[in-house]
A = this chain, B = another copy of it.
């Protein structure tokens, strides 16, 4: 039953959630997964310096953290070569997307995304009454031209693009994104989700002051801090400042800020992680090939593996893997849903995948 005191907007929202957590699946199955390869976490962990910083901060956690996060914002600003006025922190990109949609999208406002792109963005757009317009992927890539055309057609406030893409792992080269920025219609904002950009060969050159773009970054992926909940938005100062009108000012904790700061300072660790991810992706591609499947090229820390049939088949493969203790996810709509999405794992994780996949495929075919 819906509480009668909800607003009409809230009362009309579905009770579904964007993602079911692996812990919920484990509770349903009655046992933990042996390989956790579904959430694109970094199994290689955070920098030991970040772990040390978090442990030290635990003793000071009786204090609220600096609501302006001045130290971390200054370090991020130096990292990007811009001023701290271009940066705001949030509880992961998920939290920042929610704030951005709240700031810019009112009931009925048009927003453009791709069919099969990040469900949590769609969750927030629905949550504020926005009207989501979707364009198809083109050859497993999000389609900048189609996104811009649709944005012009519907008068979109926001255009969402993840590059590298999740769930497919494909990545447009910098010049494609830079050209897209030049085509953004008046009144629209490109929300460029760069959660996985640390794994990409190159990032587009975009001036943080460019009023047409806001970029979303995170410590959850390459920095190995998914469970810490720290993301940052990078964009024009006016828009960035407006987050202060609505954000939970004391929402970013003390251990979170300390861990993120230390992680940012250890770029050597990041380079090591990138190397391990590349190795893991080679291994995933090899496992796929050994089972007659094709791995898509990926610029992220996961690999989409084409199971060669339709979404129902891929879903059976996914279930078969889960039954064998291997947690992966898959894209929702066709034609993306012919794939399963496998996060870069440790050697042990991928040995379990290699062991589980033949049986999962056999069950799916039988």
Using CB atoms and an 8 Å cutoff, list the residues of chain A in contact with chain B: 1-10, 13-15, 17-19, 21, 23-24, 27, 36, 39, 41-46, 51, 54-55, 57-68, 70, 91-92, 94-95, 98, 102-106, 109, 120, 127, 157, 187-189, 211, 220, 224-229, 236, 238-239, 241-242, 244-246, 248-256, 259
- What are the 6 tightest A-B residue pairs by CB atom distance, in nearest-first order? A227-B254, A23-B66, A61-B227, A13-B245, A54-B58, A7-B106
Cβ contact within 8 Å between A21 and B67: yes
Q: Given the known A-B contacts A187-B5, A239-B3, are A10 and B64 also in contact in the complex, defined by CB atoms under 8 Å?
A: no
For this chain, the copies found in one complex come to 2
Residue of B nearest to A158 (CB): B5
Looking at A21, A51, A254, which has the most chain B CB atoms within 10 Å of its CB?
A: A21
- A211 CA / B19 CA spacing, docked (Å): 29
Q: Given the known A-B contacts A3-B239, A255-B255, are A62 and B249 also in contact in the complex, defined by CB atoms under 8 Å?
A: no
Contact residues in B for A239 (Cβ distance below 8 Å): 3, 5
- A242 CA / B15 CA spacing, docked (Å): 7
What is the CB-to-nearest-CB distance from A344 to chain B, in angstroms, rounded to a whole number? 12
Question: Is chain A's binding surface mostly helix, strand, loop or mixed?
Answer: loop
What is the CB-to-nearest-CB distance from A21 to chain B, in angstroms, rounded to a whole number? 4
A-B contact pairs, 5 of them (CB 8 A): A3-B236, A10-B246, A54-B55, A54-B61, A228-B254
- A57 CA / B228 CA spacing, docked (Å): 10
Contact residues in B for A41 (Cβ distance below 8 Å): 62-64
Residue of B nearest to A220 (CB): B64
- A24 CA / B84 CA spacing, docked (Å): 15
What is the CB-to-nearest-CB distance from A128 to chain B, in angstroms, rounded to a whole number? 9
